[in-house]
Chain A
Amino acid sequence: AQSVTQLGSHVSVSEGALVLLRCNYSSSVPPYLFWYVQYPNQGLQLLLKYTSAATLVKGINGFEAEFKKSETSFHLTKPSAHMSDAAEYFCAVTWYSSASKIIFGSGTRLSIRP
């Protein structure tokens, strides 16, 4: 079955430190890949998405992710964490043309230490 795995349900980094959130998907067939962020009591906001145009994808708020087919990974990074980055992050994948039929990872809660 197609799936997406996020390693680490909770990641804590210091303010100014590198943020690395890990995501792996299950198929060797290149999918569409997404990272979403969810702040408390809010819906999801798209950070970035991979659609096969470029392997390094830049998103909002200084985040970027690199698609690595050989590793079936799509890790999310940010060079310097801000307190405002504290939220839950979801990796999502679809092999379909419809954006709605996406499979979400279980989420990673990012905490920022002052």
Chain B
Amino acid sequence: KAGVTQTPRYLIKTRGQQVTLSCSPISGHRSVSWYQQTPGQGLQFLFEYFSETQRNKGNFPGRFSGRQFSNSRSEMNVSTLELGDSALYLCASSLEGGAGTDTQYFGPGTRLTVL
């Protein structure tokens, strides 16, 4: 079974631009979560989608948004990029998203650099 895939793997943008990252979960998984990883702030939860609906949301500004399609693939969008948005963005998928019952499988991440 194929793992979680994320595209692109690397991205360079300039301040003020917007960016869209894509995540394809493991087949059959309906929960997709996004995380931001930076040296200063560590790993932080962005949001979770389940059955095309945002189910949980972390503490990030509205410039960060996402969506999920009927095939469970998910995209996240960052508008008006800032230097501080440079990070590794990780996507994780699981069957239903339950902490006690499910396992989250992480993709390799998209490395975003904002210049």
Residues of A within 8 A of B (CB): 32, 36, 41-46, 49, 51-52, 90, 92, 94, 96-107
Contacts and interface: CB of A to CB of B under 8 A. Distances in A.
Given A32-B100, A98-B55, A101-B56, A44 B45 contact: no
Interface of B: 4, 31, 33, 42-45, 48, 55-56, 58, 90, 92, 94, 97-109
Given A43-B107, A94-B99, A101-B45, 12 more contacts: A36-B106, A43-B90, A44-B90, A51-B99, A51-B100, A52-B100, A92-B43, A100-B31, A101-B56, A101-B58, A104-B42, A107-B42
A43 B88 CA distance: 9
The B interface, classified by DSSP as helix, strand, loop or mixed, is strand
A43 B102 contact: no
Nearest to B32: A100
B99 A32 contact: yes
B106 A44 contact: yes
Contacts of B101: 51
